[in-house]
Structure formats: C-alpha cells, structure tokens
A and B are shown apart, each in its own frame.
Chain A
Amino acid sequence: MLGSFVGVLFDGFAYGMLLFLLSVGLSVTLGMMNFVNLAHCSFAMLGGYVTVTLMDRLGWPFFATLPVAFLAAAAASAALERALFRPLYRASDLDQCLLTIGIVFVSVAGAAYVYGTVQQPVQLPDYLRGAVTFGSLRFPVYRLFLIGAALVVTVVLVAALEHTRFGARVRAAVDNQRMARGLGIDVDGVFAVTFALGSGLAGLGGALAIEIVGLDPSFAFTYLIYVIIVVSVGGLASIGGSFVAATLLGISDMAGKYYVPHLGAFLIYLVMVGLLMWRPTGLFGRR
C-alpha cells in the first residue's frame, strides 16, 4: 500500500516535471506578450520527431539528439514568430487562438503525412533503462533522469531570469511592457529570444516525453490541454507557479489513473475548472 503510494507519487512527480518542461516557455511568453499561443505543443512535437528521426534513421545517440531537438524547435518557432505571430500581437484573443489552432492542425496533419499515425518508438541507451531499488521501492532510472533534467532547467532558468541582464529585461517587459519600451528596452527583440527559448524548452520536453507518453501526431492536441492547464493554474509568467502547478497536475493525474481509472481525465478537468473559478489568474498569478 505504502509502496504503491510512493510509486504513484514518484511517477506523478516525474510526469509533472515533464509537463513543467513543456509548459514553462508558454507561461513566460504568455505573461510577456499576452499572446495566446495554442501551437506551443506543436514545437514540442517537432522536438520529439527530430529526436526520433536522428536516432532511428541516422543512428545518433539519445543524448546527442536532445540539443538538436531544442535548437530545431527554437529555430522553427523563431521563424514562425517573425512570419505569422508578430502581425497579431495587437489582435484579439480570438484571432490569436484561431491562427495558432490553424498551425496545430497543419502540424498534426504534416506529422501524420511524414511519419504516419503510429506511435514512434525510442531506443534508450542501456544506462537509462532499468531501475534503482530501495527495499521494496523501485525507481526507474529514466524517471530519475527526467526529474534531474527538469530541476537543472529550473535552476538555470531562475538564475538566468533573476541574475542576468537579459533576465532583468524579460522581467521588465513582463511587468510593464510600455514602461520597458519607454526605458529603451527592445521588447520585441527580447520577446523573440524568449519565445525561441520557450519553444526550444518545449522541443526538449517533447524529446524527453517520448519514453513516458509516446509520440504520435495527436501529441500537439493532447498535451496542449495539459500545458494550458499548467499555465492557467500556475499563473502567467511565474516559473514557480508553473512548477507547482505542473507537479500538482502530474501527481493528481497519475493518482487519478491509478486509483479511480474509470473517471479518466475527468478529475483533472474538474480540478482545473474549480481552481480557475477560485483564482481566475492562477495560483501564483498577479493582477
């Protein structure tokens, strides 16, 4: 009983860390430019497919593909930001929603065209397989690795945002865009870089997610919902908020699937709607 409880907690936490990686970029860019980017998970999916392609067809080692997944998603998002998103910063929520849903449709169909609708396998290196055991408790190595990776990303992100010049610009732009512009900060430039970084993190998350949740073209839709839950519950532009929300979501989703499987995702949506009604700007949201 206790063993299964710890197991669920551990798996949920690892899953939550995955959701955190997928969503933290969206949280920052949404808070900064108020741009409702529903295509965020398409970049994650791109990262996943880059990893699969490099490993399966070119025989690259798993770790070597991760930076490429990050860069590919970042580059693709930077290009899209330039071409499609920038004209719509001042447009209504609806237009932003529609444009990005359009991108999701195109990316889902594109992925299905190139890779088919089957789940893509990923062959992990041996040292990431297996599990560490403590008495009766079993901790899969890959999940430990995932948690470690997410914690490293969190520390790097927080340090970068709190202690670098670029981070100060980002925070200024999030807090008060007009004031930041008035002080001579190139908000559009800062946003473009932040946006690329955020999508890159999503790409990394997508690559890391394959082993846990699999990868097929519906990924962009399925995880979009989770990511948006994390962002809206955690509050915009709050890394700590995203972290807590992702952890909560990951653990409650795992617990729900384990203890009350017939309810499916019902519990998650219920928690989200309830939390939003209680705190419309999220747990850690300001305003």
Chain B
Amino acid sequence: MATVSLEALRGPHGYLRAQTRWRRTEIAFWLATLLPFLLFPSYLQLASQIAITALFAVSLDLILGYAGIVSLGHAAFFGLGAYAAGLISKFGWGEPLSGLVLASTLAGVAGYGASVVVVRFRHLALIMITLGMGLLLHEAANSASWLTGGADGLQGVRIRPLLELFSFDLWGRAAYAYALLMLFLTFLVARRVINSPFGLSLRGIRENAVRMPALGAPSRAHVRKVYTIAAVMAGMAGALLAQTTSTVSLEVLSFQRSADVLVILILGGAGRLYGGILGAILYMVARDQFSGINPQYWYFWIGLLLIAVVLFLPNGILGGLGRAAAWWRRVSP
C-alpha cells in the first residue's frame, strides 16, 4: 500500500499505473483457479458454472459497481446471449468460438440500444426501466415459442467440440477450461477499463452524476459505452452457459437470475474487481452444498444475508476484509 501512495504523488498517471500493477495475491488467485483440475475433477461442471456466473457478475459490476447504474434486468443480456448461442447452433453452426463471438456481439448491439434509453433515467424510473425491459424480453421469449421453444426450453442445441478436439462432456473438463479462459480474458479487459481514465470518470459518474458533465466529461457517452461493454460480457456468459450445457431454458431471462447476480455481486463487494468473482464462488458452492434443502428456504437465508450485508457490511465481503486488514495494520505496528 505504501508504494501506491508514493506513486500517487506522481499525479494521476502514476496512480493509474500503480493500480494496474499485478499484485501477488492476484497472481496466486488466478493460479488457484486451475486447482479444480487436479483436486476436484468430479466438480468441474460446477466449477464451469461458477466461472460463468463470475463473468456475469463482473459484467454487472462494471455498470453497477463502477458507474452506479442500478439494474434489475441484467439477465436480459445474459439470456439474449444464451438464446443466440443456442439458436446459432440449432441452425447448423455448432462451432463454439465463432458462436460465442456472434452471440456476444448480438448482446452488445442490444446493450447499446438499451443504453440509449437507460442513460436518460435515474432513481426509481431507472430501476423500473431496467426491470421492465428484462420482463419484456422474458415475456417475448415465452410468447415466441416457435423460435425459443417457450417454457419447454430450446430443443436441438448441438455444440461441436472446442477447436474440434475437446468435446463438452459430462465431466466438464473442456467446459471449465473454456469458461475459465473466457473469464480470465474478459477480466483482463474489465481490469484495463477500470484502471483507465475512462474507468476513473465512471467512478466520478457514480459519485456525482450532475458534477461530471459540469467538469466537461461526456457522462452519457461514457455510460453508453460501459453499458455496451457490460452487455457484451453478460451475453458472453449466457452463451457460455448455453454452449457448455447444450440447453437453454426460459430461466436464463428470468427476474430470479437478475436478482441472483445482484445478490452475488453485493455479497462479494460491488465496485471491486474481485467482488463478483468471490461472490460467485461463495454463492454457487453454498448452493451446491445446500442443494438438498428446498429452494424456497434457500432464499430465506439469502434474504437474511442480503439484509445483514446492507446493514453491517456496506461494501460486501471484500470491503469488510479490506477494513479488517486496515484495522490490523493500525493495531499491529
């Protein structure tokens, strides 16, 4: 930490450069993500689900944690990506990588369209607009059963092996490698975006949306940009889910999914790059462990947890850990 404050003395460029330096804990974390291959080979399917959820949470973090745009309908882009990837493969193009690119691009285009609307709103209207757009898409997918299969889910998704070498089997070896690689690559992008002047101005928008335009920052353009980036990432997460599991159900667009990812991000710590990833690991592992209990009661504990986090742990687990570390440094010389 001492090096950061020293660098900060050299002005904003020094500060940003210090932020982009890889810390040892980060490198250790990413190396640890490879451990499931060795230690839990029977849990790779779960691990790939975690990586996908983490990617989705990181994408929400960009708009919610950094730009301060509350969204209750982020599953719209996740679902768009999932349906796009599923449909592309259904109509004969089963190659996963190009399908992934196409699906995320489509989600990005939709995200840009939505962002034009979203930037005009704040407060309750913003929450309602995002919620409304999510519900609208969910209902549309439900109604258009000739295309999406409606409530029965999309039938006939056939994904070819990755690079024609590794097929997505029940063991989930290829699935986890694929999802983890994509998570890492998009994480690099997100990290770069956040530690750039653009990322700084996003935080400015979060802190004071009126002041930023007064300083000459094109807030609306910034928000449109980050919203589009986040939509691409969410679409990619959805496409990954569709490709690794070969199924797409209406659930990918549901409000529940939007709420879940919000809970995951808040739990881990919004506005922190690793918050979404940590939240996804904790949430998914806990859900897997408690899968015996009725999902109804699972949400009882999630609800209590949410209340507790909002009241006592305003910046999530990572924020709490940061505070604890700062306190520890103060008391122990």
- Do A and B share a complex? yes
B222-252 residues with Cβ-Cβ distance < 8 A to A are none
Interface of A is mostly: helix
In the complex, whether B9 has a CB less than 8 A from a CB of chain A is no
User: Given A109-B303, A225-B135, A272-B128, A93 and B296 touching (CB < 8 A)?
Assistant: no
A78-96 residues with Cβ-Cβ distance < 8 A to B are 84, 87-88, 91, 93-95
In the complex, whether A240 has a CB less than 8 A from a CB of chain B is no
In the complex, whether B314 has a CB less than 8 A from a CB of chain A is yes
CB pair A276–B128 under 8 Å, yes or no, is yes
Query: Smallest CB–CB gap between A173 and chain B, Å?
Result: 18
Interface string of A258-273 (1 = CB under 8 A from B): 0000111110011011
CB pair B310–A108 under 8 Å, yes or no, is no
Question: CB-nearest residue of chain A relative to B65?
Answer: A94
Provide the bound-state CA to CA distance between A97 and B307, in Å.
Answer: 10
Question: CB-nearest residue of chain A relative to B64?
Answer: A94
CB pair B136–A273 under 8 Å, yes or no, is yes
Question: Which of A10-18, A55-63, A98-106, A121-129 sits within the interface?
Answer: A98-106
Q: Which residues of A contact B136 (CB under 8 A)?
A: 266, 269-270, 273
Q: Which residues of B contact A102 (CB under 8 A)?
A: 302-307, 310
Q: Which residues of A contact B266 (CB under 8 A)?
A: 98
Q: Which residues of A contact B129 (CB under 8 A)?
A: 273, 276-277
CB pair B70–A110 under 8 Å, yes or no, is no
Q: Which residues of A contact B135 (CB under 8 A)?
A: 225, 265, 269
CB pair A217–B296 under 8 Å, yes or no, is yes
Provide the bound-state CA to CA distance between A185 and B45, in Å.
Answer: 60
Question: CB-nearest residue of chain B relative to A102?
Answer: B306
In the complex, whether B132 has a CB less than 8 A from a CB of chain A is yes
CB pair B306–A101 under 8 Å, yes or no, is yes
Q: Which residues of A contact B297 (CB under 8 A)?
A: 109, 112-113
In the complex, whether A117 has a CB less than 8 A from a CB of chain B is yes
Query: Smallest CB–CB gap between B324 and chain A, Å?
Result: 21
Provide the bound-state CA to CA distance between A88 and B266, in Å.
Answer: 16
Q: Which residues of A contact B133 (CB under 8 A)?
A: 273
In the complex, whether B49 has a CB less than 8 A from a CB of chain A is no
CB pair A262–B143 under 8 Å, yes or no, is yes
Q: Which residues of B contact A98 (CB under 8 A)?
A: 262-263, 266, 306, 309-310
Q: Which residues of A contact B328 (CB under 8 A)?
A: none
In the complex, whether B139 has a CB less than 8 A from a CB of chain A is yes
A2-35 residues with Cβ-Cβ distance < 8 A to B are 30, 34
CB pair B311–A84 under 8 Å, yes or no, is yes
Question: CB-nearest residue of chain A relative to B72?
Answer: A97
Question: CB-nearest residue of chain B relative to A111?
Answer: B296
In the complex, whether A254 has a CB less than 8 A from a CB of chain B is no
Query: Smallest CB–CB gap between A152 and chain B, Å?
Result: 29
In the complex, whether B124 has a CB less than 8 A from a CB of chain A is yes
Provide the bound-state CA to CA distance between A104 and B300, in Å.
Answer: 9
In the complex, whether A53 has a CB less than 8 A from a CB of chain B is no
Most chain B CB within a 10 A radius of its CB, from A99, A102, A236: A102
Q: Which of A87, A104, A108 contacts B296 (CB 8 A)?
A: A108
Question: Which of B36-44, B93-101, B115-123, B163-171 sits within the interface?
Answer: B115-123
In the complex, whether A36 has a CB less than 8 A from a CB of chain B is yes
Q: Which residues of A contact B4 (CB under 8 A)?
A: none
User: Given A102-B310, A106-B300, A266 and B262 touching (CB < 8 A)?
Assistant: no
In the complex, whether B281 has a CB less than 8 A from a CB of chain A is no
CB pair A266–B70 under 8 Å, yes or no, is no
In the complex, whether A161 has a CB less than 8 A from a CB of chain B is no
CB pair B70–A113 under 8 Å, yes or no, is no
In the complex, whether B184 has a CB less than 8 A from a CB of chain A is no
In the complex, whether A281 has a CB less than 8 A from a CB of chain B is yes
CB pair B299–A105 under 8 Å, yes or no, is yes
Q: Which residues of B contact A106 (CB under 8 A)?
A: 299-300, 303-304, 307
Interchain residue pairs with CB less than 8 A apart (8): A84-B311, A97-B70, A98-B310, A99-B311, A101-B303, A262-B143, A273-B132, A276-B132
Q: A105-B306, A106-B303, A266-B142 are in contact. List 11 more A-B contacts (CB 8 A).
A: A36-B127, A99-B307, A101-B303, A102-B302, A102-B303, A102-B310, A104-B303, A107-B303, A109-B297, A276-B132, A277-B129
